[in-house]
Amino acid sequence: MSDPSVRLRNAVIDGNFFIVSRLLKRFPDLVDNINPDNGWSNLHYSAYHDRYQISELILRMISERRQIIPSSPSSSSLKSSSSLLYTPSVSYTQITSEDEIKLTFDKDTVIHAACLNNAFNTLQLLLNYFNVCIDQRGSHGYTPSHLCCIHNFPKCLQVLLENGAYPNIQDDDGNTPLHLSLQYALVECCEYLVAYRADDSILNNDGWKPMDLVYSYEMQQKYNSL
């Protein structure tokens, strides 16, 4: 039988909730299960692959382990605590501890992971717990908003902006999400950024405004009409 950590990781990727829940119940210490090759946790994988139910289970377990547990709990309280781990809840607690905010080797959060693959349903769930990471910079200084504007994921960008993402944040090159949206001619992303008052006068490290990165006259016209 293969290593439980590998089985668990594969089950998360495949979206097999039954196997994931069984393995985590048997091996609760594997709730993070960091991949030694890239630093991705179970939650990074479930976020990237938009595994909403699995993400909720992992988040519940993370939230539970942050609570103070009595030194000598009764058997009834143990049973109650165990059932709570595997029961979806509509109440959320923001996770702000640096120990719980796992970063990949590229310094990406689980919010980045969701935005890398347009996992907008799971993204909303993650923001209920990790809103503090909404503007965190990862590889190349990209925030989740930058990733949405590189990969053309306007739905994820909308979720981020609705939850308070700063539209004018700059990456390592000084580019804002609007710089990237205009550079890649992503009209829908531009629409959301304009709606949230993105500033098109900000200069990047090369001294260019967002409109300076537009390659086509057609895109210029579309942006000017927003």
Segment 146-160, tens digit of pLDDT: 999 999 999 999 999
**Residue 67 confidence (pLDDT):** 65
Contact 157, 145 (CB under 8 A): yes
Architecture of domain 1-69+99-133: Alpha Horseshoe (1.25)
75-85 and 52-65 helices cross at what angle (nearest 10)?
A: 140
Q: Which residue has the tokens 């509509």?
A: 90
The CATH class given to the 140-226 domain equals mainly alpha
H helices of the chain, in order, are 4-14, 17-26, 42-48, 52-65, 75-85, 110-116, 120-130, 144-151, 154-162, 177-183, 187-195, 217-224
pTM (predicted TM-score): 0.86
Taking the CA atoms of 68, 70, 73 and 76 in sequence, report the sign of the dihedral they define: negative
Q: How far apart are CA 43 and CA 34, in angstroms?
A: 9
Q: How far is CA 165 from CA 101, 135, 146, 160, 198, in A?
A: 18, 6, 11, 5, 11
- The answer for residues whose C-beta is within 8 angstroms of residue 52's C-beta and 6 or more apart is 121, 122, 125
Per-residue pLDDT tens digits for 54-75: 999 999 999 887 663 333 333 3
Query: Fold match between 1-69+99-133 and 140-226?
Result: yes
Identity of the amino acid at 120:
F
Q: How far apart are CA 146 and CA 183, in angstroms?
A: 12
pLDDT along the chain (226 residues), means of 10: 91 98 97 97 98 97 67 35 40 72 95 98 96 96 98 98 98 98 97 98 98 94 93
Max CA pair span of the chain: 71
* 174 token code pair: 């000084």
Ranges of each domain in the chain = 1-69+99-133, 140-226
Share of the chain above pLDDT 90, in %: 82
**Residue 97 confidence (pLDDT):** 76
